[in-house]
Amino acid sequence: MRVVLLGGAGYIGSVISAELLANGDEVTVVDDLIYATKERRDKPPFGTNFVRGDFRDENLLRDVVKGADAVVALGGLVGEPACDLDQDLTVELNYASAALAGEIAGECGVQHFVFLSTCSVYGRQDGLGTEETPANPLSSYARTKLLAEEHLAKVCQGNLSLTVLRLATVFGLSPRMRLDSVVNSMASRAARTGEIPLRGGAQWRPLLHVRDIAEVARRALHEKRATHPEPYVLNVGSDEMNYTIEHIAETVAGRIEGARVVRTPQPEDQRDYRISFARIREVFPGSCARGLGEGVDEIAAAVASGEFADLDQVGYDNLRGLRLAIDENRAKVLRTPAMRRLADEYEGRWTQA
């Protein structure tokens, strides 16, 4: 299978790339490497056909998508703080790029489009959220992802197969590492300093190992779902991995010798949701089996072995890395006709909400 990964050199994309290559797929990665710096020289996943470019570029998209069997859209900005830096940039990278890619994929005869979304679209919920639970996005990150889902459902209907993967909060080692997500941050800080900063703690989060995402993406691309309607939405994670933030901190403290939880006065994150993963358990049995302890242990071991030369390096943090990329003009708003058209659609959708 020939697969195009938009954003395939990032934290999640580099792991998916390796998974698909090991499966024997032909993988083309499109990525602008905006988080690469002088200190951190990101490399394209080995063995892929790498195209360094902007996946908001219509001409580039048409060139790379032509002849592909499937497109996986996973690029963009991750996390509320990074997305709040520049609203227009967030809309282009998280919503408009995926929407445009879906339109072009349909025109080029692609068979399957996979969009990596987020469980953050549920926002704040009582009880267990399912794929049928009404979305309640609380941030531009969640709103851009939700509107991309809605737009893709329209353009793919009757045209190409669409799978939406709503990811739980991701952790674990990757060739293009992030240390700012909740588990990675707590584990790396605990291994380095012995302290685990905790804001609030009662909020619920579902967790998901990055390698489990790669396996689910491969299975979504290769295993038939003929009995399911299109578009198809899957929460990706496991019921056993719904944790409170405090429980995550306590787990990290229990696995790293000498580590202790330190409560901080910063405002807590308002997202609070538990997710049901019954559907993915039925569709892809045995998926998402890696536990929190496994991820904490591997990150602590990587810190202890010196795998990360400098834990405070800007490239490990999405917010600081994006701020630097904007300052150095490596990340900027394009405002092409296609981007303006889709940005207007975004504004109209959330002005009416």
- DSSP H helices, 41-139, are 58-65, 80-83, 87-90, 97-107
**Residue 239 corresponds to which tokens in the numbers above?**
């019921």
Note whether residue 253 is domain-resident.
no
DSSP-assigned states of every residue in 132-151 = TSPP---SHHHHHHHHHHHH
Give yes or no for a contact between 116 and 77, defined as CB atoms under 8 angstroms apart. no
Note whether residue 305 is domain-resident.
no
Range of the domain at 57: 2-176+208-240+276-289+328-352
Note whether residue 301 is domain-resident.
no
Give yes or no for a contact between 55 and 61, defined as CB atoms under 8 angstroms apart. yes
Quick one: pLDDT band at residue 202, thresholds 50, 70, 90?
Answer: confident
Note whether residue 102 is domain-resident.
yes
Note whether residue 302 is domain-resident.
no
Question: Per-residue pLDDT for 226 more than 50?
Answer: no
Note whether residue 128 is domain-resident.
yes
Helices 210-222 + 13-22 axis angle, to 10: 50
pLDDT in tens, 20-57: 999 999 999 999 998 877 666 667 788 999 999 999 99
pLDDT in tens, 60-113: 999 999 999 999 999 999 988 899 999 999 999 999 999 999 999 999 999 999
Mean pLDDT of 272-295: 94
Query: Closest Cα partner for 186 from 273, 242, 254?
Result: 254
Query: Half-sphere exposure of 221 toward its Cβ, with a 13 Å CA cutoff?
Result: 31
**Residue 40 corresponds to which tokens in the numbers above?**
């951190």
**pLDDT above 90 as % of the chain:** 78
Domain of 22: which CATH number?
3.40.50.720
Counting the structural domains of the chain, the total is: 1
Residue in the structure block whose two tokens are 């580039």: 60
**Residue 336 corresponds to which tokens in the numbers above?**
């092409």
Mean pLDDT of the chain: 92
Catalytic annotation on 232? Answer: no
Note whether residue 183 is domain-resident.
no
Q: Is 353 helix (H, G, I), strand (E, B) or coil?
A: coil
Q: Which listed residue (35, 95, 141, 346) is catalytic?
A: 141
Note whether residue 99 is domain-resident.
yes
| Spatial separation of the C-alpha atoms in residues 254 and 307, rounded to whole Å | 22
**pLDDT above 70 as % of the chain:** 94
Question: Per-residue pLDDT for 160 more than 50?
Answer: yes
Mean pLDDT of 271-293: 93
Give yes or no for a contact between 56 and 92, defined as CB atoms under 8 angstroms apart. yes
Q: Is 102 helix (H, G, I), strand (E, B) or coil?
A: helix
